[in-house]
């Protein structure tokens, strides 16, 4: 028991260092992993009677780094597609076409761009793509009369909605928790619908409160040369690119990476006639590297989470933590809903309910205890993850969006919490109905 | 290409229309007509406004806006969002005006105005939006384009956002002539 308490205290210290931004999350996870192993009494090196390595150098650091390799690879290919959509101006065209539809109707433009951005984030994720989409969407929203907070909310809600049904993200959650892809997708899709409705409510309230915004403004730089054509029939077909991975995976049950590659080839075929072969090849190479770079933060996070999962699953560590986790794990339906809904803010600041922080370890422990079915634990964590995706001030996309619009990141968190909390409840109720 | 620090004249205002997201939906033979109509509305309102203020030698727009009940926030920043610099904003629902001082200072310097004179011209532009919202109706709705056009099929109607800016520029242009040159 003492060992377990020490491990939890150490987790809290590391969480404190993350919250106060003394250590970046990606590095904090590595320290957390080593600390858990040391406090849990796992030897650094060693072999069991059968000659298998049991030291944490091999079983936690080495094996853990590779544990989520599949999810990391999927994320990289998704990142590549995102960069291709950026370079070929598919994303920009989708967003501008959306703005065209609304004209001078601020509410219509805002809702259309919310839908378009959500759609884009359902295919691509990571800070690079948030910047790519945000630098187009936010200025359009502000120029058609939305205020800064509304523009911020549109971007964050769109990321939340899109990421909930993002195939690479679902694949990662499935790998972290150990639940089936389709089971995760179902709960995530329900949460995405909930977050979408919450987003619309937020936008309606904001636009009603602020009215229309007019501005005396001017462009600060010249427009870049347009070598990729998004015109005519091929242009229209190019705009289907974000749907292709979804159709391949959901409709044809293709594996994820080949689905992203098909979308990538489709995007090039539909846009690159004017650019020519050589430029397109250069663009593909450059975007591949950029895709790697854009995915690097989440890939690094997944390396750390893989290690954390292996650390928590070390027999001596899980034995030390099991009594504590068992005492707090809810058993009944009401207990489950109350636990995840009331404690939902613990997903913020990489807290114990955040699957991309300490929560990965807590979820793994809960699963190993067999108190609740696997899919129920998965559903609970997926439900709270909508709050984390939208509100967590440590999310790099929250930090970027708020600094871009000139808002304060924690102030935005406070203002968005009331809209997203009911969605956590919806996610928990859906989990109870489907899996309990 | 639109200027980085545009003066509210006809040439720069036409750029507003050319860069409008709905511009591709405007029939080519209507571009000039629509522009001139929006410009005429702004000029007409500008002249009317100055006639109402005839007794005042040089109206101070900041005072006028405050008298109309607008809250004014002065923010000491150069506000650049994406590829656009914002000088001043008017939020109709909150009756709030935000002035970005450092942006305005740059605009004044590039256009050869003192800060007070330059701000006065920019506030004339914003005052027109106040009139649009509270008195004369939205100029952007005077001409409408289809929301969605697929071949011959047109769905929905929506306004042209830049028309409001064009009319506001015409309004500010008339005020400028009076403020700086004493002409109406």
Q: Which residue from A176, A198, A199, A137 is spatially nearest to A313, judged by alpha carbons? A: A176
Alpha-carbon distances, residue B156 vs A58, A102, A115, B153 (angstroms)? 64, 10, 19, 10
Which of A96, A138, A208 lies nearest to residue B82, judging by beta carbons?
A138
Counted across chains A and B, CB pairs separated by less than 8 A come out at 127
pLDDT band for A227, please (50, 70, 90 cuts): low
Q: What is the mean pLDDT of chain B?
A: 87
Q: Which residue from B127, B123, B15, B182 is spatially nearest to A219, judged by alpha carbons? A: B15
Mean pLDDT by 10 residues, chain B (184 residues): 67 86 88 95 92 74 90 91 84 91 92 89 93 92 86 85 93 85 60
Does pLDDT of A367 surpass 80?
Answer: yes
Whole-number pLDDT of residue A362: 87
B-facing residues of A in 170-229 (CB < 8 A) are 207-222
Contacts of A105 in chain B (CB under 8 A): 158-159
What distance in Å separates the CA atoms of residue A114 and residue A402, rounded to the nearest whole number? 17
SS3 for B109-130 is: HHHCCCHHHHHHHHHHHHHHHH
Whole-number pLDDT of residue B57: 67
Nearest-by-CA chain B residue for A142: B81
Nearest-by-CA chain B residue for A144: B161
Whole-number pLDDT of residue B56: 61
Which of B77, B82, B122 lies nearest to residue A139, judging by beta carbons?
B82
Q: What is the mean pLDDT of chain A?
A: 88
For residues A347 and B3, which has the higher predicted lDDT (pLDDT)? A347
Contacts of A231 in chain B (CB under 8 A): none
A196 to chain B, closest Cα gap in Å: 23
Q: Which of B1, B75, B81 is the best substitution to test chain A (most A C-beta atoms within 10 A)?
A: B81
What distance in Å separates the CA atoms of residue A358 and residue A365, rounded to the nearest whole number? 11
What would the DSSP string read from start to end of A123-161? T--SHHHHHHHHHHHHHHHHHTT--HHHHHHHHHHHHHH
SS3 B134: helix
| Residue A426 in tokens | 């919806």
Which pairing describes strands B153-159 and B71-75: parallel, antiparallel, or unpaired?
A: unpaired
Angle between helices A359-369 and A276-312 (to 10 degrees): 60
Whole-number pLDDT of residue B3: 61
User: Do residue A219 and residue B84 have CB atoms under 8 angstroms apart?
Assistant: yes
User: Do residue A140 and residue B81 have CB atoms under 8 angstroms apart?
Assistant: no
Nearest-by-CA chain A residue for B144: A103
Query: Chain A within 8 Å of B158 (Cβ-Cβ)?
Result: yes
Q: What is the mean pLDDT of residues A197-226?
A: 82
User: Do residue A218 and residue B5 have CB atoms under 8 angstroms apart?
Assistant: yes
B55 to chain A, closest Cα gap in Å: 28
Contacts of B73 in chain A (CB under 8 A): none
Cβ–Cβ < 8 Å for B140, B161? yes
Which of A105, A139, A211 lies nearest to residue B81, judging by beta carbons?
A139
What distance in Å separates the CA atoms of residue B4 and residue B2, rounded to the nearest whole number? 7
Which of A104, A142, A207 lies nearest to residue B158, judging by beta carbons?
A104
Q: What is the pTM of this model?
A: 0.79
Cβ–Cβ < 8 Å for A435, A379? yes
Q: How far apart are the first and last CA of chain A?
A: 30
A-facing residues of B in 125-154 (CB < 8 A) are 125-126, 129, 132-133, 138, 140-141, 144-145, 147-148
ipTM over 0.95: no
- Angle at the Cα of A156 (from A154 to A160), degrees rounded to 5? 115
pLDDT band for A66, please (50, 70, 90 cuts): very high
The set of long-range contacts for A46-54, using a CB threshold of 8 Å and a minimum separation of 24, is none
User: Do residue A215 and residue B90 have CB atoms under 8 angstroms apart?
Assistant: yes
Whole-number pLDDT of residue B101: 95
* Torsion on CA atoms A152, A158, A164, A166, rounded to nearest 10: -120
A-facing residues of B in 17-36 (CB < 8 A) are 19, 21-22, 24-25
Does pLDDT of A272 surpass 80?
Answer: yes
What distance in Å separates the CA atoms of residue B91 and residue B83, rounded to the nearest whole number? 21
Whole-number pLDDT of residue A217: 84
A289 to chain B, closest Cα gap in Å: 25
Query: Chain B within 8 Å of A48 (Cβ-Cβ)?
Result: no
pLDDT tens for B67-77 read 989 999 999 99
Contacts of A108 in chain B (CB under 8 A): 147, 158
Query: Chain A within 8 Å of B57 (Cβ-Cβ)?
Result: no
Q: What is the mean pLDDT of residues A36-62?
A: 90
Whole-number pLDDT of residue A141: 86
* Dihedral sign from CA coordinates of A294, A297, A303, A309: negative
| Residue A39 in tokens | 């406090």
What residue ranges in A61-143 does DSSP mark as E strands? none
Whole-number pLDDT of residue B179: 75
pLDDT tens for B54-71 read 666 677 889 999 998 999
pLDDT tens for A378-396 read 999 999 999 999 998 878 7
Cβ–Cβ < 8 Å for A42, A55? yes
Q: Return the minimum-mean-pLDDT range out of A1-10, A171-180, A224-233, A359-368.
A: A224-233
Whole-number pLDDT of residue A313: 84
Whole-number pLDDT of residue A200: 97
SS3 B88: strand
Contacts of A217 in chain B (CB under 8 A): 84-87
């Amino acid at each position: 028991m003492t060992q377990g308490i020490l491990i939890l205290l150490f987790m809290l210290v590391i969480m404190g260092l993350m919250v106060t931004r003394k250590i970046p999350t990606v590095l904090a996870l590595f320290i957390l992993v080593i600390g858990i192993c040391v406090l849990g009494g796992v030897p650094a090196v060693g072999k069991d009677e059968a000659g298998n390595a049991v030291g944490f150098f091999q079983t936690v650091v080495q094996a853990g780094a590779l544990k989520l390799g599949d999810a990391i690879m999927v994320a990289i290919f998704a990142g590549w597609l995102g960069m291709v959509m950026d370079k070929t101006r598919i994303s920009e065209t989708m967003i501008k076409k959306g703005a065209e539809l609304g004209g001078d109707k601020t509410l219509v433009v805002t809702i259309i761009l919310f839908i378009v951005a959500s759609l884009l984030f359902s295919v691509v994720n990571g800070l690079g793509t948030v910047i790519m989409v945000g630098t187009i969407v936010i200025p359009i929203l502000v120029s058609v009369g939305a205020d800064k907070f509304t523009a911020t909310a549109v971007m964050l809600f769109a990321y939340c909605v899109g990421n909930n049904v993002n195939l690479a993200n679902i694949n990662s959650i499935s790998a972290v928790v150990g639940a089936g892809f389709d089971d995760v997708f179902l709960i995530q899709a329900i949460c995405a619908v909930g977050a979408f409705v919450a987003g619309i409510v937020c936008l309606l309230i904001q636009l009603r409160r602020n009215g229309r915004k007019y501005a005396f403004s001017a462009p600060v730089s010249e427009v870049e040369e347009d070598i990729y054509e998004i015109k005519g029939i091929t242009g229209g077909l190019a705009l289907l690119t974000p749907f292709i991975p979804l159709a391949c995976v959901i409709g044809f049950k293709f594996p994820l990476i080949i689905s992203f590659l098909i979308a990538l080839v489709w995007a090039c075929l539909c846009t690159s006639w004017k650019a020519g072969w050589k430029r397109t090849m250069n663009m593909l190479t450059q975007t591949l590297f950029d895709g790697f770079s854009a995915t690097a933060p989440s890939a690094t996070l997944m390396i750390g989470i893989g290690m954390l999962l292996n650390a928590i699953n070390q027999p001596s560590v899980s034995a030390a933590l099991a009594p504590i986790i068992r005492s707090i794990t809810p058993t009944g339906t009401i207990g489950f809903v109350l636990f995840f809904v009331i404690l939902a803010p613990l997903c913020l600041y990489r807290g114990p309910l955040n699957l991309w922080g300490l929560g990965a370890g807590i979820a793994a422990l809960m699963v190993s205890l067999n108190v609740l079915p696997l899919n129920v634990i998965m559903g609970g964590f997926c439900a709270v993850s909508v709050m984390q995706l939208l509100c967590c001030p440590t999310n790099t996309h929250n930090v970027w969006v708020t600094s871009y619009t000139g808002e304060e990141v924690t102030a935005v968190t406070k203002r968005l919490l009331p809209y997203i909390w009911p969605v956590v409840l919806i996610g928990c109720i859906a989990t109870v109905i489907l899996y309990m | 290409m639109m200027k980085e620090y545009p003066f509210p004249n006809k040439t720069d205002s036409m750029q507003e229309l050319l860069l409008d997201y709905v511009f591709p939906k405007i029939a080519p033979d209507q571009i000039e007509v629509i522009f001139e109509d929006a410009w005429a509305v702004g000029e007409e309102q500008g002249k009317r406004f100055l006639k109402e203020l005839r007794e005042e030698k040089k109206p101070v727009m900041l005072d006028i806006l405050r008298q109309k009940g607008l809250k004014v926030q002065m923010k000491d920043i150069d506000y650049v969002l994406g590829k656009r610099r914002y000088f001043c904003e008017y939020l109709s629902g909150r009756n709030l005006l935000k002035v970005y001082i450092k942006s305005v200072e740059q605009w004044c310097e590039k256009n050869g105005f003192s800060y007070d004179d330059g701000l006065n011209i920019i506030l004339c532009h914003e005052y027109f939006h106040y009139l649009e919202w509270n008195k004369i109706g939205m100029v952007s709705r005077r001409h409408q384009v289809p929301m969605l056009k697929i071949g011959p099929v047109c769905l929905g109607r929506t306004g042209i956002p830049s028309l409001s800016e064009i009319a506001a520029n015409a309004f500010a242009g008339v005020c400028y002539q009076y403020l700086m040159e004493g002409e109406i």
